[in-house]
Chain A
């Protein structure tokens, strides 16, 4: 770019001024995460497919526990992306909410274990999909991570590692929500460990890459 006098720049920017609606940031977060949620859902449907017994499963407590758990994490994560998009933004409240949800899930897991004969513990923890659950959630989180990064790159996060972590956690949590429509596992300990791990790994990926990708 040609070196330009500050005054010329001010004239140019003033000429480009358009009114900004107060909801502009929320709209951008909703657009970015909404589109990438659709992408992640399509990926899930084509690659993994909806669980065949969805109609039946949707009458069980376990399905809704899984749904609520991932939904709470997803909402807290998406809200964190919105908050960290502002300079001086802090996501402490959101992290607290997520930590609280995880603790509740772990308590539920222990409660279920307490009602189970000890020789079934490992079966409950491993389920039948232990090898792929966390991995699948992380893969499904990738379109969402791209969407969250797109959201943040147009806004003004000033702490990039934290912003990356927020993007990753949101992506992981929304991906877990998407994945819960495929996954037929129904033991609390399984959800508490492998779903949570998927969300945290996505958060870690976001934190590590964010400080490079999110620069502005």
Chain B
């Protein structure tokens, strides 16, 4: 959070001084943050408006950049504009906000939702591997330890670690294929 503020603020100050290169970087960066921000706040039926909102907000940032006060946080300023654009969008389309319109940290929080979902998927899939091999797979494929390290700490030979992992992965693959087959039905 803090480093994002520092970075974007530096870019903004350079942009206000007329540095086009910094400005290009700033706008691309901001566009990414804005896209997540709007996507998370629009209902499924309106997700398609996210890009319009991003562009509108970038335009507003551009035409109203003089209103940024250099002794204030840039992220707070940008968030206020993005929030205004979102509320204006709701108002224009007579949509009632069902998602809470929260504060500035939110615009710049790293998006964790995908990572969390992935982690849960991994845990569930690992359940389909034999119990002894779960740990081996986790340590080599997720944590990134080497076969040698794992062999040493478990007391198994490197070959049997490799074989166990191989079998475990095959079990997981079979489970995934089974899922796909079920989905087809």
Whether B80 pairs with A16 at a CB distance below 8 angstroms is no
A6-B54, A13-B27, A19-B16 known; A155+B66 contact, CB < 8 A = yes
Residue in chain B with minimal CB distance to A88: B80
Whether B76 pairs with A88 at a CB distance below 8 angstroms is yes
Whether B31 pairs with A6 at a CB distance below 8 angstroms is yes
Is A22 at the interface (CB under 8 A from chain B)? Answer: yes
Q: How far is the CB of B13 from chain A (nearest CB, A)?
A: 11
**Which of B57-65, B130-138, B159-167 makes up part of the contact surface?**
B57-65
A-chain residues with CB within 8 Å of residue B70 when the two chains form the complex: 22
Whether B67 pairs with A155 at a CB distance below 8 angstroms is yes
Whether B80 pairs with A18 at a CB distance below 8 angstroms is no
Whether B80 pairs with A158 at a CB distance below 8 angstroms is yes
Is A115 at the interface (CB under 8 A from chain B)? Answer: no
**Which of B81-89, B108-116, B173-181 makes up part of the contact surface?**
B81-89
Complex Cα spacing A161 to B54, Å? 25
Contact with A along B121-158 (1 / 0, CB 8 A): 00000000000000000000000000000000000000
A-chain residues with CB within 8 Å of residue B63 when the two chains form the complex: 154
Best-surrounded residue of A16, A19, A86, A155 (most CB of chain B within 10 A): A86
Whether A16 pairs with B62 at a CB distance below 8 angstroms is yes
Interface size on A, residues (CB 8 A): 28
Q: Could you say which of B15, B64, B72 contacts A17, with CB atoms under 8 Å apart?
A: B15
Whether B81 pairs with A19 at a CB distance below 8 angstroms is no
Whether A87 pairs with B66 at a CB distance below 8 angstroms is no
Is A64 at the interface (CB under 8 A from chain B)? Answer: no
Whether B80 pairs with A14 at a CB distance below 8 angstroms is no
Whether A215 pairs with B88 at a CB distance below 8 angstroms is yes
Whether A155 pairs with B64 at a CB distance below 8 angstroms is yes
Is B51 at the interface (CB under 8 A from chain A)? Answer: yes
Contact with B along A115-145 (1 / 0, CB 8 A): 0000000000000000000000000000000
Q: Which chain A residues numbered 44 to 87 have a C-beta less than 8 Å away from chain B?
A: 85-87
Q: Which chain A residues numbered 202 to 216 have a C-beta less than 8 Å away from chain B?
A: 215-216
A-chain residues with CB within 8 Å of residue B15 when the two chains form the complex: 17
Extra A-B contacts (13), CB below 8 Å, given A87-B81, A158-B81: A6-B54, A10-B31, A16-B62, A17-B18, A19-B16, A22-B70, A25-B67, A86-B69, A155-B66, A156-B64, A158-B83, A158-B84, A215-B88
**Footprint of B on A, CB under 8 Å?**
4, 6-7, 9-11, 13-20, 22, 24-25, 28, 85-88, 154-156, 158, 215-216
18 contacts between A and B (CB under 8 A): A4-B55, A6-B51, A6-B55, A9-B55, A13-B59, A18-B18, A19-B16, A24-B66, A86-B69, A87-B77, A87-B80, A87-B81, A154-B64, A156-B67, A156-B80, A156-B81, A158-B83, A216-B64
